[in-house]
Amino acid sequence: MTRELTYVAPGRLEWRDRPDPQLQAGTDALVRPFVAGRCDGDVLPLHHSVSRAMQAGVKLHLIDPVISDITGAVPFRGTFGIGHECIAQVTSVGEDVQDLRVGDVVVVPWSVSCGECRECRRGITAKCSTTRELSPGSALAAFGFGPSCGPWGGVVTDSLRVPYADRMLVKVPHGLDPLRVAAAADNLSDAWRSVAPALGESADGSVLVIGGGSRSIGLYAAGLAVALGATQVDYIDDDADRLATADALGATVREVSRRRWTSVRSAITRTYDVAVEASSTEQGLRDALRALGPGGVCTATGYYVGAGTKLPVMDMYATSATLKAGVSNVRPRLPELLDFVARSDFPAEKVTSTLLPWEDAPDGYAAHTTKLVLHREPLDLPR
């Protein structure tokens, strides 16, 4: 049997046993995670009784019914293996795996993709049609979201089966500290896609980050924008610790005192080429879009579950703005992200606000902290 960190109910997690994963196809690999980050999105079912609230919200037409396509008809119902951000060691490979060897240290992208279907070839690996067939009716195939997203399990475990291993797994560059890229499987990559493509080759643009909701993504985005050479990076939040982290990453911080639904417009005094909405609020989305200058690009990184989110489309028309929404397609961008972090020495680990021993996962995973990372020693594997 293998242990898996299991979500039971809000605030309640346990180690539970499940059968040892086996190689099921020649293209499979087995890996042993030894660094795991807690995705910003995992905070939702950990800290709130969202399951019943979401069911009621869908019934009352307050929440977009499409949520059921992602989380299943009963969102976040325990029990399920939680966690979908990890760095792992390859422990076993199928006979058709060519590019990986036992002992390789790899990033395991949060969504499971084949690398060959039409969607994967277009770079939208989070919408892989091959793997989604295994979770019928679901919008996603992913680790750590429960059976509605397939049979993959959570990554805070002793052994994990990864299909299409050559296409899925990306080796961590030699010399790059796995703790630095603990969130590469999801949140760090999400931040990368929010700033790097929009800033482009010249990277001389200005960037606004409205933080506080998808908490680590906002901080990674601010730090990456600075490291990419953006001329101005402004970070807005109401939390002193996160503001200090953004400051340490080189962003200009603007503190707001606000309740969740109020506008942060008063803290925005200019226009931006790039906006990252990481407050996970509708108002934040409107503020971010209205802050864009001509041709600006806003990426929405949070959950906007309301049925009928209002957007300032006339404002967007006037500025020729682009809004990018959607889960992040990690796999195609991982090599360039890891290469950038390795080359630039980007200190992503500054975003980690709590670092815990692996064994503390059941008590620690629900901690009220911006970015939780678990770690243990890698195995001494013959290479």
Yes or no: say if 144 and 84 are a contact pair by the CB < 8 Å rule.
Answer: yes
Yes or no: say if 6 and 15 are a contact pair by the CB < 8 Å rule.
Answer: yes
Q: Kindly tell me which of 86 and 297 has the beta carbon lying closer to Zn ion.
A: 86
| 41, 83, 94, 213: residue in contact with Zn ion (rule CB under 5 A) | 41
Shortest separation between residue 258's beta carbon and Zn ion, angstroms: 25
The reply to whether 89 sits near Zn ion by the rule CB under 5 A is no
Bridge-based pairing of strands 354-357 and 372-375 is: parallel
Q: Kindly tell me which of 119 and 234 has the beta carbon lying closer to Zn ion.
A: 119
Instruction: HSE, CB side, 13 Å, CA atoms: give it for residue 269.
Output: 8
Yes or no: say if 329 and 124 are a contact pair by the CB < 8 Å rule.
Answer: yes
Helix (H) or strand (E) holding 323: strand 322-324
The reply to whether 124 sits near Zn ion by the rule CB under 5 A is no
Shortest separation between residue 222's beta carbon and Zn ion, angstroms: 19
The reply to whether 45 sits near Zn ion by the rule CB under 5 A is no
The long-range contacts involving 259-262, CB below 8 angstroms and separated by at least 24 positions, are none
Shortest separation between residue 93's beta carbon and Zn ion, angstroms: 20
Write the interaction track for Zn ion spanning residues 100-119; mark x where CB under 5 A is met and - where it is not: -------------xx--x--
Yes or no: say if 13 and 367 are a contact pair by the CB < 8 Å rule.
Answer: no
Token look-up 């069911």 returns: 55
The reply to whether 217 sits near Zn ion by the rule CB under 5 A is no
C-alpha angle 43-211-345 in degrees, rounded to nearest 5: 95
Q: Show Cβ contacts of residue 362 under 8 Å, excluding neighbours closer than 6 positions.
A: 5, 13, 14, 15
The reply to whether 128 sits near Zn ion by the rule CB under 5 A is yes
The reply to whether 39 sits near Zn ion by the rule CB under 5 A is yes
Q: Kindly tell me which of 133 and 255 has the beta carbon lying closer to Zn ion.
A: 133
- Stretch binding Zn ion (CB under 5 A), from 26-34, 147-155, 178-186, 310-318: 178-186
Q: Kindly tell me which of 132 and 242 has the beta carbon lying closer to Zn ion.
A: 132
- Stretch binding Zn ion (CB under 5 A), from 149-157, 183-191, 263-271, 278-286: 183-191
Yes or no: say if 358 and 375 are a contact pair by the CB < 8 Å rule.
Answer: yes
Shortest separation between residue 139's beta carbon and Zn ion, angstroms: 14
Shortest separation between residue 110's beta carbon and Zn ion, angstroms: 5
- Stretch binding Zn ion (CB under 5 A), from 125-133, 255-263, 307-315, 350-358: 125-133
Yes or no: say if 27 and 64 are a contact pair by the CB < 8 Å rule.
Answer: no
Shortest separation between residue 67's beta carbon and Zn ion, angstroms: 15
Token look-up 């080429």 returns: 273
Shortest separation between residue 375's beta carbon and Zn ion, angstroms: 18
Q: How far apart are CA 36 and CA 38, in angstroms?
A: 7
Q: Kindly tell me which of 116 and 204 has the beta carbon lying closer to Zn ion.
A: 116
Q: Show Cβ contacts of residue 345 under 8 Å, excluding neighbours closer than 6 positions.
A: none
Q: How many residues bind Zn ion (CB under 5 A)?
A: 9
List residues near Zn ion by CB under 5 A: 39, 41, 113-114, 117, 120, 128, 130, 186
